[in-house]
């Protein structure tokens, strides 16, 4: 490396604060929001935070956690503004996470009702994520992002192809920690892409085991979350229809009608 290049590179030590809340996924959405706000107040009141803030040396990046929280609470507009601000000048150091943030932006835009903007965000996300896939073909989180992004774009073949790749990288039979994550993505993609049987099978497996969720915060799919999550609500509708017990002569007709309703909702 030349002397001139060395002079241009200035390395600095950065401190990253990670905070976890015990039992977070068991709290109601309202209590989750309150707990996060309480933690934020504690951090902002610390001497280190105030000193760094005064010096203008804080780097705050939106994460999937806070965007997911906004989506669950159906208040996507603040998250959209924050993500657009960050992605206007994406940080190369974030790698494929810039593409992941674009996926979240698309989801928030869809919840806000701006479907055209959501499609454009997902197209950009797919392009960015695919560029990293060539370098990281075994990165199952990156592959899951591509599955979900293609799901948003309505590309069923590509979405399922990426799901299968992620499941091959971390098979649930061999990896009890990371293996369930692609199965959750399979449940989401199947529900959105009109494959109720596959969605139900994946969902039943997930509801029978403890695991860390595929999306922000590692929150697993639970019956309560299924009623809140706009991406997985179809799974809940399908699951509810399967749990009902109509009379034998009514069952076939009722299941068909419920499935049509589940598949056409949130389109």
Q: What is the pLDDT of residue 54?
A: 81
CA distances from 134 to 96, 109, 138 (A): 11, 28, 10
- Euclidean distance between CA atoms 240 and 42, whole angstroms: 41
Residue 167: predicted pLDDT: 95
CA gap 266, 142 in Å, rounded: 25
> pLDDT digits over 62-91, tens only?
455 678 778 878 889 988 998 998 899 888
| Mean pLDDT along residues 37-65 | 71
pLDDT digits (tens, 9 = 90+) for 213-257: 887 667 777 777 777 776 555 555 555 555 554 444 433 443 444
- Look up residue 221 and give its DSSP letter: P
Q: Report the alpha-carbon distance of residue 247 to residue 250 in Å, rounded.
A: 5
Residue 181 has pLDDT above 80, yes or no: yes
Who's near 67: CB < 8 A, 6+ residues apart?
79, 83, 104, 105, 107, 108, 216
Closest CA to 64 of 9, 39, 101: 101
Q: What is the mean pLDDT of residues 166-188?
A: 92
**Which is nearest to 198 in space by CA: 183, 212, 181?**
183
**Cβ atoms of 115 and 121 closer than 8 Å:** no
Question: Which comes out higher in pLDDT, residue 164 or 54?
Answer: 164
Site of tokens 């073909």: 137
Residue 92 confidence (pLDDT): 86
Residues 6+ apart with CB under 8 A from 180: 172, 205, 206, 209, 211, 212, 220
Distance CA(183)–CA(255), nearest Å, equals 24
pLDDT value of position 253:
40
pLDDT of 35 over the 90 cut: no
Q: How far is CA 44 from CA 37, 47, 69, 92, 133, in A?
A: 10, 8, 20, 27, 37
- Between CA 147 and CA 187 the distance in angstroms is 11
Question: 226 versus 197: which is more confidently predicted?
Answer: 197
Q: What's the pLDDT at 24?
A: 57
Q: Which two tokens stand for residue 160?
A: 């399922």
Domain ranges for the chain, please list them: 24-41+59-121
**pLDDT score of 133:** 92
What's the rounded Cα separation, in Å, for the pair 173 and 177? 10
Angle between helices 156-169 and 180-192 (to 10 degrees): 170
Residue 67, classed as helix, strand or coil, is helix
Give the residue from 132, 145, 134, 139 showing the smallest Cα distance to 169: 139
pLDDT tens per residue, range 2-28: 444 444 555 666 666 666 666 655 666
The residue assigned the tokens 């159906």 is 74
Closest of 25, 22, 23, 72 to residue 218, by C-alpha = 25
pLDDT reported for residue 258: 37
Q: What is the pLDDT of residues 85-137, one digit of tens each?
A: 889 988 888 888 899 999 999 999 999 999 999 999 999 999 999 999 988 99
Average pLDDT over residues 175-180: 88
């Amino acid at each position: 490396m030349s002397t001139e290049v060395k002079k241009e590179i200035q390395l600095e030590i950065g401190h990253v604060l990670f905070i976890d809340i015990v039992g977070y996924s068991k709290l109601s959405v309202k209590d989750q929001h309150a707990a996060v706000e309480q933690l934020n107040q504690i951090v902002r009141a610390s001497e280190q935070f105030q000193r760094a803030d005064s010096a203008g040396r804080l780097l705050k990046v939106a994460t999937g956690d806070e965007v997911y929280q906004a989506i669950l609470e159906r208040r996507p507009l603040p998250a959209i503004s924050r993500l657009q601000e960050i992605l206007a000048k994406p940080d190369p150091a974030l790698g494929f996470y810039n593409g992941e943030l674009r996926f979240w932006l698309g989801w928030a835009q869809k919840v806000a009702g701006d479907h055209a903007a959501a499609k454009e965000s997902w197209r950009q996300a797919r392009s960015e994520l695919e560029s990293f896939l060539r370098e990281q073909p075994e990165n199952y989180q990156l592959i899951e992002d591509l599955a979900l992004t293609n799901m948003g774009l309505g590309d069923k073949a590509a979405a399922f192809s990426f799901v299968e790749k992620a499941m091959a990288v971390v098979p649930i039979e061999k990896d009890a920690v990371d293996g369930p994550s692609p199965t959750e993505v399979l449940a989401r993609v199947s529900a959105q892409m009109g494959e109720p049987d596959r969605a139900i099978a994946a969902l039943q497996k997930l509801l029978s085991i403890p695991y860390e969720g595929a999306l922000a915060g590692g929150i697993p799919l639970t019956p309560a979350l299924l009623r809140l999550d706009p991406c997985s609500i179809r799974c809940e509708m399908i699951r509810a229809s399967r749990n009902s017990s109509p009379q034998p002569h009514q069952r076939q007709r009722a299941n068909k009608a419920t499935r049509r309703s589940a598949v056409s909702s949130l389109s």
